[in-house]
C-alpha cells in the first residue's frame, strides 16, 4: 500500500461529509500517491471519471470485465476511452479459478442458489478487484446512499478492511439520480444504452433486468433472489452503516 502524502489542505474523513465531490477527489489525489477509480461504466462512474480527469488527467481507472458484461457496456468503454484521458485497466478473472468454477458448477451457476451466485461474483468480480487494488492507497467508487436500503449508510470515506485497510471514497454518496443525470447532460457525456431500455442499475447481462416504477434502483440485480441484499461482494458490509452517514476515525485518514 502506498503511504499517504502530507497535504497543504488537511481534511479529516469526518470533514469530507457534505463536501463537494470535486473537492473530495482533489483531497484524495493530494492525500494518496496511488488512487484508482473503480468504474462499472454506469452513470456514476462516468461522472467520476470526467470529474477526475478535469482535476488530474490520466487518472487510474480499473474496470472488471467479468466475461458476462452486456455488449452495451463494452461499447461505452470504447467510447469513453477515446473521449477521456484515462489510464484504463480492464481486469479479468483468474483463468484457472474461472475454469475450475465452471467445471464444477456450470456457466450459469448463479441461478441455482444464492451461495453459488455469490461464488460467481467472488470469482468474476471480488477476487479480481482485490488483486487489482494491491499497491493502491485509496479507491473511488460511485456508490450513492439513495440506490438501495443496503447503501443508505454509505460513508463518504471509510477504511476498507476487505482490501487491506486502504481507504475507500464515495464522493457521490449524497447525490440523487437527478443530480447524476444533470451532470452528464451538462458535460455532454455519453450514457449507457441500457438506461434507455428501463434499466436503473447495470451489471452482468444474465443477472440484470430493467426495473419497474416504484422499485429500488437495484431491484433488477439478481431479481430472482427475493429479499436478498443486492450486492456482489465488492462493497463489504463493514463499510456501510445503516444508522446514517459514518466515516473512518479521522485520525486514521486525516
Sites for ligand SF4 among residues 135-154 (CB under 6 A):
none
Q: Toward ligand SF4, which CB reaches closer, 119 or 168?
A: 119
CB of residue 24 to ligand SF4, shortest distance in Å: 28
- What phi, psi does 175 have (nearest 5°)? -75, 150
Residue 173 CA to residue 214 CA, distance in Å, equals 21
SS3 183: helix
Cross-sheet strand order for the sheet of 166-169 = 86-91, 59-64, 35-38, 138-140, 166-169, 157-160
Is 232 marked active-site? yes
State the burial class of residue 10 (Cβ atoms within 10 Å of its Cβ: 0-12, 13-18, 19+). Answer: exposed
Helix/strand/coil for 59: strand
- To ligand SF4, the closest distance from the beta carbon of 47 in angstroms equals 22
Residue number, 102 or 193, with CB nearest to ligand SF4? 102
User: Which x/- pattern over 196-215 shows residues binding ligand SF4 (rule: CB under 6 A)?
Assistant: -------xx-xx--------
Residue 159 phi/psi, 5° resolution? -80, 130
Task: Confirm or reject binding of residue 232 to ligand SF4 (CB under 6 A).
Answer: yes
Does 24 interact with ligand SF4 (rule: CB under 6 A)?
A: no
Q: CB under 6 A: which stretch of 41-49, 115-123, 128-136, 139-147 binds ligand SF4?
A: 115-123
> 167 φ, ψ to 5°?
-95, 135
Binding-site member from 77, 121, 167, 173 for ligand SF4 (CB under 6 A): 121
Q: Which is nearer to ligand SF4, 128 or 171 (CB)?
A: 128
Name the residue nearer to ligand SF4 (CB basis): 124 or 145: 124
From candidates 26, 40, 63, 66, binder to ligand SF4 by CB under 6 A: 66
Partnered with residue 158 across adjacent β-strands are 168
Least distance (Å) between residue 39 CB and ligand SF4: 16
Check residue 54 and give left, alpha or beta (phi > 0: left; psi -120 to 50: alpha): alpha
If we measure between CA atoms, which residue out of 233, 225, 214, 63 comes closest to residue 162?
233
Q: Which stretch binds ligand SF4 (CB under 6 A): 80-88, 120-128, 143-151, 160-168?
A: 120-128
Distance, in Å, from the CA atom of 253 to the CA atom of 180, rounded to the nearest integer, reads: 27
Does the footprint of ligand SF4 cover residue 171 (CB under 6 A)?
A: no
φ, ψ at 91 (rounded to 5°): -105, 130
Site for ligand SF4, residues 73 to 112, rule: CB under 6 A: 110
Q: What residues line the site for ligand SF4 (CB under 6 A)? A: 66, 68, 110, 117, 120-121, 124-125, 203-204, 206-207, 232
The set of catalytic residues is: 232
Amino acid at each position: 500500500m502506498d503511504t499517504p502524502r502530507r497535504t497543504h489542505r488537511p481534511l479529516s474523513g469526518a470533514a469530507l461529509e457534505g463536501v463537494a465531490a470535486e473537492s473530495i477527489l482533489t483531497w484524495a489525489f493530494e492525500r494518496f500517491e496511488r488512487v484508482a477509480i473503480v468504474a462499472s461504466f454506469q452513470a456514476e462512474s462516468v461522472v467520476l471519471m470526467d470529474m477526475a480527469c478535469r482535476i488530474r488527467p490520466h487518472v487510474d481507472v480499473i474496470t472488471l470485465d467479468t466475461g458476462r458484461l452486456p455488449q452495451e457496456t463494452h461499447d461505452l468503454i470504447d467510447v469513453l476511452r477515446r473521449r477521456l484521458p484515462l489510464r484504463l485497466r480492464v481486469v479479468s478473472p483468474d483463468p484457472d479459478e474461472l475454469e475450475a468454477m465452471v467445471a464444477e458448477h456450470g456457466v450459469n451457476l448463479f441461478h441455482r442458489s444464492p451461495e453459488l451466485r455469490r461464488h460467481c461474483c467472488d470469482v468474476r468480480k471480488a477476487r479480481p478487484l482485490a488483486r487489482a487494488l494491491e499497491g493502491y492507497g485509496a479507491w473511488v467508487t460511485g456508490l450513492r446512499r439513495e440506490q438501495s436500503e443496503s447503501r443508505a449508510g454509505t460513508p463518504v470515506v471509510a477504511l476498507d478492511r476487505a482490501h487491506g485497510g486502504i481507504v475507500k471514497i464515495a464522493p457521490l454518496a449524497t447525490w440523487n439520480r437527478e443530480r447524476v443525470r444533470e451532470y452528464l447532460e451538462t458535460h455532454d457525456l455519453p450514457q449507457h444504452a441500457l438506461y434507455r431500455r428501463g434499466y436503473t442499475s447495470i451489471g452482468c447481462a444474465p443477472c440484470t433486468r430493467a426495473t419497474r416504477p416504484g422499485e429500488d434502483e437495484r431491484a433488477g440485480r439478481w431479481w430472482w433472489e427475493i429479499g436478498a441484499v443486492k450486492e456482489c461482494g465488492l462493497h463489504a458490509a463493514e463499510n456501510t452503516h445503516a444508522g446514517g452517514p459514518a466515516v473512518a476515525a479521522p485520525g486514521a485518514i486525516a
